[in-house]
């Protein structure tokens, strides 16, 4: 295993001003106090980075992943640093084993007339992921079991892989497949499967506490804009933004291959796992579907409620769905032994849109507006989690006299007197050292910002003491610790 910090290298992303339009002509989601540092409209920057991330031949291992991480490092700028980890093939990771490393030099199918049928250089999706090396001349009948198409979408190329069963193949449109003449075909697949390593990237942004906020995105899918160049780009901009802000939580961002990457990270970081208080898996952030949050296995974790609140504040259609053990890397983080408070944020869900895992998931399928909106909702979710606290009323016997402490004047400029008073009274009544501000906002049916502002004002005159602790905010299950 080798770890290296790569702050440069790789192709320069097509940087541009952060000047995208709001989604669907409406105001973008409010990102809270973090919005200013990201620029008012980050959609164009994100869309340009998605375009830069599309070409590499990515998989769960290999140089395509390294090229992608180099692009991320360049997009991050001088800070924060991206650490690249290499975990050797054959390493046991939980119930799995790190696979052999796969790399592609070229892959081409040539027809009887000598013309190219498909070439992976034109589109990485043309090659079955993890294809073994082949050089052969085959009849059409011999070739057919190795050709993959979508009869219901005759003009699209499907995305197919064979990670853990040795196979080879080509993906093509169904129209191409139907038009193939009888004859001899030349198969040239120049790939290697060797004892190499699995590669992933990690950014750690220290906070004032050791409690961690985990953000992950998968790096293994090639040539698809929404799944998951949008997630990689958005995680990159989140890292850039958070690096320039004061942070209570320590933020850990992972750029990992799907499934085997999260399993590998969990296997190597059992001590870190116990510090995770909130987590988000990012995928499919750029399509035109309504934003969607998938709850953690716990169902009512702070991040679940923060995301739901951030979505509700937009005033636009959205979805909050329950956890299921099907999907992306939330499956691993929410496996019963770890049971981490990790949800997933995206827009259209896997299988809900026909472009999923096809060549139609292209740059036109994602929009700057949707990317900017997703980014803002994520920042607002983070904002709420950062400001959530557990307080204890220091004067719990009867209500303290508030007027003489100037509390109404302290926060009166930002909200009406009734909202101020109700926020102050609810916080004083429920701040018993066991309830978080999210709990209080839910119970009082008040906006989180109202409750948080009231708590800040009360703490400013020593009527509250901060008793936020790891044991109260999120006790990690025993399986998450050594």
Token couple for 8: 């440069």
Rounded to the nearest 5°, which phi and psi values hold at 383? -55, -45
pLDDT of residue 419: 80
pLDDT of residue 11: 30
CA 160 to chain centre: 22
How many whole angstroms separate alpha carbon 265 and alpha carbon 250? Answer: 17
DSSP of 184-236: EEEEEEEEEEES-EEEEEEEEE--SSS-EEEEEEE----S-IIIIIHHHHHHH
Distances (CA, A) of 275 to 135, 265, 278, 335, 475: 50, 14, 9, 16, 9
Number of Cβ within a 10 Å radius of residue 169: 24
What's the mean pLDDT in 109-113? 98
Q: Give residues with Cβ within 8 angstroms of 403, minimum separation 6.
A: none
CA 38 to chain centre: 17
Residue entry with tokens 């209500």: 399
Encode pLDDT of 320-378 as tens digits: 999 999 989 999 999 999 999 999 999 998 778 999 999 999 999 999 999 999 999 99
Which run of H or E residues covers position 216? strand 212-218
Encode pLDDT of 39-49 as tens digits: 557 999 999 99
How many whole angstroms separate alpha carbon 128 and alpha carbon 102? Answer: 12
Confidence of residue 9 (pLDDT cuts 50, 70, 90): very low
How many whole angstroms separate alpha carbon 312 and alpha carbon 307? Answer: 9
pLDDT of residue 192: 98
Token couple for 66: 């390294």
Q: Find the distance separating the first CA and the last CA of the chain, reported in whole Å.
A: 21
Binding site, annotated residues for Zn(2+): 221, 227, 357
CA angle 264, 356, 260 (to 5 degrees): 10
How many whole angstroms separate alpha carbon 219 and alpha carbon 68? Answer: 8
Structural domains in the chain, CATH included, are 2-91+206-387 (3.40.630.10), 101-194 (3.50.30.90), 390-471 (1.10.10.10)
CB 365 within 8 A of CB 355: yes
Rounded to the nearest 5°, which phi and psi values hold at 44? -65, -40
What's the mean pLDDT in 292-304? 97
Tell me the three state secondary structure of residue 384: helix
Closest CA to 45 of 218, 230, 221: 230
Confidence of residue 412 (pLDDT cuts 50, 70, 90): low
How many whole angstroms separate alpha carbon 457 and alpha carbon 445? Answer: 19
Q: Tell me the whole-structure pTM to 2 decimals.
A: 0.88
Binding site, annotated residues: 221, 227, 357
Query: Mean pLDDT over all residues of the chain?
Result: 89
pLDDT of residue 25: 37
How many whole angstroms separate alpha carbon 407 and alpha carbon 453? Answer: 11
Encode pLDDT of 160-183 as tens digits: 999 999 999 999 999 999 999 999
- Tell me which long-range contacts 394-403 makes (C-beta under 8 A, separation of at least 24): 394/462, 394/463, 394/464, 394/465, 395/463, 396/432, 399/425, 399/428, 400/428, 400/463
Residue 153 reports pLDDT greater than 90: yes
Encode pLDDT of 231-251 as tens digits: 999 999 999 999 999 999 999
pLDDT of residue 379: 97
């Amino acid at each position: 295993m080798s770890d290296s910090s790569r702050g440069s290298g790789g192709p320069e992303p097509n940087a541009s001003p952060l000047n995208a339009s709001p989604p669907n002509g409406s105001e973008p989601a409010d990102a809270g106090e973090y919005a200013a540092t990201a620029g008012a409209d980050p959609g164009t920057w994100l869309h340009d980075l998605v375009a830069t991330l599309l070409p590499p031949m990515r998989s769960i291992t290999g140089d395509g992943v390294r090229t992608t991480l180099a692009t991320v490092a360049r997009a991050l700028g001088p800070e924060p640093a991206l650490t690249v980890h290499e975990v050797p093939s054959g390493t046991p990771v939980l119930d799995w084993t790190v696979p052999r490393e796969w790399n592609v030099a070229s892959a081409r199918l040539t027809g009887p007339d000598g013309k190219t049928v498909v070439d992976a250089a034109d589109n990485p999706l043309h090659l079955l992921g993890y294809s073994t090396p082949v050089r052969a001349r085959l009849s059409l009948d011999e070739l057919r079991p190795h050709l993959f198409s979508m009869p219901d979408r005759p003009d699209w190329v499907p995305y197919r892989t064979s990670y853990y069963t040795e196979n080879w193949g080509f993906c093509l449109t169904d129209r191409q497949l139907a038009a193939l003449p009888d004859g001899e075909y030349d198969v040239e697949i120049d790939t290697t499967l060797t004892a190499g390593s699995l590669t992933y990237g990690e950014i750690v942004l220290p906070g004032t506490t050791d409690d961690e906020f985990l953000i992950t995105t998968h790096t293994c899918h090639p040539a698809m804009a929404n799944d998951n160049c949008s997630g990689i780009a958005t995680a990159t901009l989140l890292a850039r933004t958070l690096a320039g802000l004061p942070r209570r939580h320590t933020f850990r961002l992972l750029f990992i291959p799907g499934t085997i990457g999260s399993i590998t990270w969990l296997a190597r970081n059992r001590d870190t796992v116990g510090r995770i208080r909130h987590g988000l898996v990012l995928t499919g952030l750029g399509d035109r579907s309504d934003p969607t949050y998938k709850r953690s296995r716990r169902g009512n974790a702070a991040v679940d409620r923060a995301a739901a609140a951030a979505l509700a504040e937009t005033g636009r259609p959205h979805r909050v769905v329950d956890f299921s053990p099907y999907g992306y890397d939330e499956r691993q983080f929410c496996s019963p032994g770890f049971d981490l408070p990790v949800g997933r944020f995206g827009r259209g869900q896997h299988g809900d849109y026909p472009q999923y895992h096809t060549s139609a998931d292209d740059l036109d399928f994602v929009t700057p507006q949707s990317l900017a909106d997703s980014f803002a909702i994520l920042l607002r979710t983070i904002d709420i989690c950062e400001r959530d606290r557990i307080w204890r009323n220091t004067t719990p016997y009867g209500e303290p006299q508030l007027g003489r402490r100037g509390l109404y004047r302290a926060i009166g400029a930002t909200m009406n007197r009734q909202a101020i008073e109700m926020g102050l009274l609810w916080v004083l009544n429920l701040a018993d050292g066991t309830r978080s501000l999210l709990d209080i906002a839910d119970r009082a049916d008040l906006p989180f910002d109202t409750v948080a502002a009231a708590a800040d004002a009360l703490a400013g005159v020593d009527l509250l003491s901060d008793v936020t602790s790891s044991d109260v905010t999120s006790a990690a299950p025993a399986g998450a610790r050594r």
